[in-house]
Structure 1
């Protein structure tokens, strides 16, 4: 039944039989037959059918919750049995806010050096999506803010505290200064992350606290796009210090610390609070708690 539950989860996620079959790397008739067999085994209709996928029935919605839980438990069982034979092994799906990508690479590299049979899949997502992915058993862990917006029932390991840099072209009026007050950014052309990003919501609050009336010319969910805009000397951006230093290396970019009102926020590893936790995730949590700085 496990393979049919995975087909059902894929169909619910994609909302389309053809795309779900492609995701599962099987033929569409095979997926349709698997869903039908699952319905027969459970004795209920899970999917509304017409000329195309019509959504889940109420029984299907309930079954989807159980399907995610069962497949997640099965994955955990496989991981624990594999550890008894070969030590820590398997794949960790790590969902990460865009501003913590360099730290994600750091954590994964350090962990993989000690446990070479563990591989990582790093997904760039906003903080709300990370929590949803973990709830849906589609991500094993995340890296996100720890002390800004509610996280729910999770276990955490702080990695760093976010401070901010003004990122500008070396030809900018701000380049070469020891620091810049937030208030100096009023009216300056800015490239910023999109409002669905928690980093942007934090930056917006810092603007308000420091009396800044921002003039945003570019919004993107990609920090690469922001830095590329800065290189053209058309605007400036604000990024966490660690990420700014990583992205500025070898480029015609100046980094200037920002000073003013407002506190900084902690960023760290988050894991769903589940008992028992897989050996791999337990080891990852311990590694994060002693991770050396970048």
Structure 2
């Protein structure tokens, strides 16, 4: 019963709505509310701020939530470990990734599913870097793929995968960048369409511009990779994108991608899991596979290239 009540607390924190939390736990809203009240009675502290709608957790509830997430994660890890001993690895592997890492995710999930046919994989793509790390820290993700250029802290273990580098993406017909390469100064003079300024991938690009004494002022911003390509394809805009994106999208007809130089800048991207020991069996299996996959080499060439 205690585990079920802890599930209710975690679900309410995640959904921030009593009815949605109840649906996610496959119970009625009164059953969820009653379970939370009983948990408060058993622990002797208030956990939920109650009003006409969900108003958040109390300070005591926030502290209990941290423990609840760890207890439920340990339960899931125990079940996966026991299942692996019985029939081989099974369960659900949850991976979160920043938008630029789509190619790397695919290079890992293919061989992972082939090696572990009883495991299903859930990929949450397009997350912000802080959401990837927060999901791993709060046990809502088993692993994440994100940037490694900032300090992660002792709570995470990282496996480097590749170095992200950048190209200038333009519409070929308008020849905004006619040469075989372009500089960051060239890019700063063009009408730019870039990712949203709150996204880590955009902040990295802004840092490169700033390091060269430049400032990019995009006329158009989006949080969608597909929308960015569509805007550039329309012919009015140019963009700075990671070369790894081209491994997924290729260079669409009517568009050009030229390497950006002066300065040449790369940013490390890697697989991140919780550093807790013993490591959950699914995360352990994924990191073991990542150590043996040449993601950098695979992303070096576009599909179809020799």
Residues 187 and 213 in structure 1, CA contact (< 8 A), matched pair in contact too: no
1:277 positional shift: 0.6
Residues 183 and 263 in structure 2, CA contact (< 8 A), matched pair in contact too: no
1:281 positional shift: 1.4
Point out the more displaced range, 20-29 or 196-205.
20-29
Aligned: 1:215 with 2:226 = no
Residues 166 and 238 in structure 1, CA contact (< 8 A), matched pair in contact too: yes
CA distance in 1, matches of 2:239, 2:10: 40
Query: What is the number of residues matched between the two proteins?
Result: 293
1:259 positional shift: 0.7
CA distance in 2, matches of 1:5, 1:142: 24
SS at match of 1:161: strand
Which residue of structure 2 lines up, in the alignment, with residue 112 of structure 1?
113
Point out the more displaced range, 193-202 or 172-181.
172-181
Which residue of structure 1 lines up, in the alignment, with residue 57 of structure 2?
56
1:229 positional shift: 0.5
Aligned: 1:7 with 2:14 = no
Which residue of structure 2 lines up, in the alignment, with residue 166 of structure 1?
168
Residues 176 and 254 in structure 1, CA contact (< 8 A), matched pair in contact too: no
Which residue of structure 2 lines up, in the alignment, with residue 17 of structure 1?
18
For residues 39-92 of structure 1, give each alpha carbon's deviation from its aligned partner in whole angstroms, at most 9, with x where no partner exists.
222232211223222322232122111111111111111110110111111111
Aligned: 1:91 with 2:92 = yes
Which residue of structure 2 lines up, in the alignment, with residue 34 of structure 1?
35
Residues 94 and 121 in structure 2, CA contact (< 8 A), matched pair in contact too: yes
- Show the 5 A alignment for 1:129-140: 129-140=131-142
Residues 174 and 256 in structure 1, CA contact (< 8 A), matched pair in contact too: no
Distance 1:276 1:201, change over 3 A: same
Which residue of structure 2 lines up, in the alignment, with residue 279 of structure 1?
281
- TM-score normalised per structure 1: 0.94
Residues 156 and 269 in structure 1, CA contact (< 8 A), matched pair in contact too: yes
Which residue of structure 2 lines up, in the alignment, with residue 190 of structure 1?
192
CA distance in 2, matches of 1:165, 1:270: 26
CA distance in 2, matches of 1:218, 1:55: 35
CA distance in 1, matches of 2:173, 2:26: 51
After TM superposition, the runs of 4+ consecutive aligned structure 1 residues lying more than 6 A away are: none
SS at match of 2:73: helix
1:270 positional shift: 0.8
- Show the 5 A alignment for 1:134-283: 134-146=136-148, 148-153=149-154, 154-174=156-176, 177-283=179-285
For residues 153-201 of structure 1, give each alpha carbon's deviation from its aligned partner in whole angstroms, at most 9, with x where no partner exists.
2212111111111111121324553111111123311111112222211
1:263 positional shift: 2.9
Distance 1:54 1:182, change over 3 A: closer
CA distance in 2, matches of 1:92, 1:24: 19
Residues 188 and 215 in structure 1, CA contact (< 8 A), matched pair in contact too: no
Q: CA RMSD in A?
A: 1.6
Distance 1:189 1:81, change over 3 A: same
CA distance in 1, matches of 2:111, 2:189: 42
CA distance in 2, matches of 1:134, 1:286: 17
For residues 78-113 of structure 1, give each alpha carbon's deviation from its aligned partner in whole angstroms, at most 9, with x where no partner exists.
110110111111111111010001211111111111
Point out the more displaced range, 239-248 or 28-37.
239-248
Residues 98 and 129 in structure 2, CA contact (< 8 A), matched pair in contact too: yes
1:245 positional shift: 4.0
